[in-house]
Copies of this chain bind each other. A is one copy, B any other.
């Protein structure tokens, strides 16, 4: 019995060590907690998918956004959250978020993620935050789609500014 418990603990250790119980993407990036309290870079809307989105940045990301620093410094993290878009029940011309769809991250580490422009990609899908991708190769899909904005360090979103 003692041996079985011991074996189970040893088997679980890597997962716990990496993600501390959080879901982990196939390339080893765990879900980054607390992003919902970060400052927002901008909203976006996809009528083809019927999604409304927020792009958040950690402190390093917001500073780089405001100062126009490119490439983004190591330690930059951006999180993009998508919700299904619905009409407001009391004011139908307004489109608002409904159900959580997914959260995606871009984590900057120029050396570690050299093969994909210095960015580590991760996506977690649905209420259960299921890690996206069969294996670490899933990042090619992300990187491929972000290549048209290589000139902006692979980032689509700009800071939505106010006077």
Contacts and interface: CB of A to CB of B under 8 A. Distances in A.
Contacts of A52: 43-45
A81 interface: yes
Q: How many copies does the complex hold?
A: 2
A15 interface: no
Interface of A: 35-37, 39-40, 42-49, 52-54, 81, 83, 85, 88, 90-91, 93-97, 100, 103, 127-129, 148-149, 156-158, 160-163
A93 B46 contact: yes
A91 B156 CA distance: 9
A146 to B, nearest CB: 10
A25 to B, nearest CB: 16
A95 to B, nearest CB: 4
Contacts of A49: 93
Contacts of A128: 163
B42 A94 contact: no
A78 B36 CA distance: 17
A72 to B, nearest CB: 17
